[in-house]
Amino acid sequence: MVGLRDDAKTRDAIERCLERISEAAAKLGDEASELVPGQPWPEIRALGNRLRHEYDRVRVDRLWTIIVQDLPSLRTACEAGLAKLEGGG
């Protein structure tokens, strides 16, 4: 996490990628919960707004927690949802 505090480019890249995830969740709407249940979709969508509009208050430690604790399970769940779609349900 120390590197994240000191590396503005990496932090910006992480924030931008999280914004994209948030935007994708917003575009999916209720379908996100149907395809990938059990994820905190409202919080995922809200994160994008926070990154865009309250960027000066985003805590590096919270970004780190999202990267380490939240993203792995979200990725696994989304991959399972995609597999369902590709398999026809």
Identify the pLDDT of residue 73.
96
- The answer to whether 1 and 10 are in contact (CB under 8 A) is no
Which amino acid would we find at residue 4? L
Q: For every one of its 89 residues, what pLDDT tens digit does the chain have, with 9 covering 90 and above?
A: 767 888 999 999 999 999 999 999 999 999 999 999 999 999 999 999 999 999 899 999 999 999 999 999 999 999 999 998 888 65
Identify the pLDDT of residue 43.
96
Identify the pLDDT of residue 88.
65
- Read off the tokens for 72: 């792995």
- The answer to whether 63 and 4 are in contact (CB under 8 A) is yes
